[in-house]
Copies of this chain bind each other. A is one copy, B any other.
Amino acid sequence: MNNKLIELKEILNKANFYKHAINILYFDVETIAPKDALEDENNTMNYFSNELFKIINNDHVNNLVIDLNKEKDNLDYYDKLLIEKLYESYSKNKNITPEFDLKRNQIYSKSYINWLKAKEAKDYNLFKDSFNDVINIQREEINLRDNKFLNVYDNLLNDCEKGVLQEDLDKFFNDLKVGLIDLINKIKSSKHIIRDDFLNRKVAIYKQEQFSKYLLELNGFNLNRGVLSTTEHPFTSEISRYDSRVTTHYFEDNVLSNIYSVIHEGGHAIFMQNEPEEDHNHFINDYITNGMHESVSRFYENVIGRSKEYTHLIYPKFIEVFDEFKDITEQELYEAINIVKPSLIRTEADEVTYGLHIIIRYEMERMISNDEITLDEVPAKWNELYYKYLGVTPKDDSEGVLQDVHWSGGFGYFPSYALGNAYNAMYVKKMKEDIDFNNCILNGDFKTINNWMINNIFKDANHLTPKEWIKNITNNSLNAKDFLDYLYKKYSDIYKF
């Protein structure tokens, strides 16, 4: 093998030790680290993140990458792919100094802590300065790039979902918005009444824990290669090759919140657990985009998890573990988990109104990035858009602009959720041509479903851009239509119109 490649891979091996330790530290901070230890632990995490940055970003490694990029056509498939990805990363990072890297990490850590404090105090003003720091450091970072899009926000979007820019999203979200508002109006006019009075019955946490494990295993999550923990804001983390961790948050008076968190995060983990071994062996396992990932998590959460068939499958266990619900019929449960009701909190939203929560965030990010509103105007604009699109108004910042952790880490992620819905609606159409999807769910045959995902969705997600990937699978380009069709079919049945 090429000597430069051997040397480069030794460096990437070393980098993997740092990534592993940083992932564990991050997971620890977000799950069990005690309050008074957070500052020290963030400092330690930032120290190692900075060391990692220095291992990968220096003249020696840059020269290896530049040289190997010149001869990439002589490399085999995986090595060529790796060099292309590293060259792209080099191009983005070459003007970023270790000092800048440390500064940005410190800003993100501080911003996260201030977000937590602000949310607890229900006061956006406690977060505003950090928010400003985060927005500025993202801008500074982009300014340091040689090749960049003219518009700041396009760069942030492109970092999250390569090739998907404001132009694409404006069209996509516009189609989506028109379709959703039409559908919501149809649902509003429906005479069908769905009972949801029982959803807030109190359920002990330990029962919810038991049910969460049942769901994860049912769906195909491998507990030898992952764990379930608790956190403030649920996430999934790929700690290392054989270690993908799901987190959730239990509420005694909201049993569904945990259930759909666990199915959603479990979906991310199933994706991680089924990335090809070869991708890990060739250091190209870190290139799945957020949109691709959300397409999978939201496939498990919604397309499967909120389906009639899945409700039928889990209903017996549901009333066994949660005997508080034994007077509720399967049909009542199915309708309640799909009730459409404009509300304040994104993560608790139904499938139909969910898209509007994302559109609000996208519009906010675009306005802030393009200096159309100031940070002082953010909470009022947030509340204005919530009233405009959903007809609801937060009573404080905690259930308004501070509800999500994302902005403490910058802009660009939110559109991924909506893209995820669009992608999976597109590929589920294809899946249904190949396997008897509804019957698989009814019979709890997740092996067939997950195998289809492995062979069609997971296989080359690390290798392709989202545009290439969805085209390869569906022979089609990003659109809102398939998702709207899916919603229309499902909700016209539930709401009988």
**Bound Cα distance from A242 to B41, whole angstroms:** 10
- Nearest chain-B residue to A40 (Cβ)? B240
Contact B25 A41 (CB under 8 A): no
Partner of A21, one of B27, B48, B227, B240: B48
Interface check A206, CB cutoff 8 A? yes
Interface check A144, CB cutoff 8 A? no
Residues of B within 8 A of A20 (CB): 40-41, 44
Q: With A32-B227, A37-B239, A240-B40 in contact, is A17–B204 under 8 Å at CB? A: no
Interface check A47, CB cutoff 8 A? yes
Q: With A20-B40, A28-B24, A48-B21 in contact, is A243–B205 under 8 Å at CB? A: no
What 0/1 readout, one digit per residue, does chain A (41-69) give for beta carbons within 8 Å of chain B?
10110011000000000000000000000
Interface check A377, CB cutoff 8 A? no
**Bound Cα distance from A48 to B51, whole angstroms:** 12
Q: How far is the CB of A14 from chain B (nearest CB, A)?
A: 8
Residues of B within 8 A of A241 (CB): 37, 40
Q: How far is the CB of A321 from chain B (nearest CB, A)?
A: 13
Residues of B within 8 A of A240 (CB): 37, 40-41, 44
Interface check A70, CB cutoff 8 A? no
Copies of this subunit: 2
Q: How far is the CB of A162 from chain B (nearest CB, A)?
A: 29
Contact B205 A37 (CB under 8 A): no
Residues of B within 8 A of A342 (CB): none
Contact A243 B40 (CB under 8 A): yes
Q: How far is the CB of A277 from chain B (nearest CB, A)?
A: 13
Interface check A371, CB cutoff 8 A? no
Interface check A36, CB cutoff 8 A? yes
Interface check A395, CB cutoff 8 A? no
Residue among A37, A204, A223, A240 facing the most chain B CB atoms (10 A cut-off): A37
Contact A44 B21 (CB under 8 A): yes
**Bound Cα distance from A489 to B275, whole angstroms:** 65
- Nearest chain-B residue to A44 (Cβ)? B20
Q: With A17-B47, A24-B24, A48-B17 in contact, is A37–B242 under 8 Å at CB? A: yes
Interface check A11, CB cutoff 8 A? no
Sample of 19 A–B contacts (CB below 8 Å): A17-B47, A21-B25, A24-B28, A24-B41, A24-B44, A27-B28, A28-B28, A34-B226, A34-B227, A35-B225, A36-B224, A36-B225, A36-B242, A36-B243, A37-B239, A37-B240, A41-B243, A44-B240, A205-B206
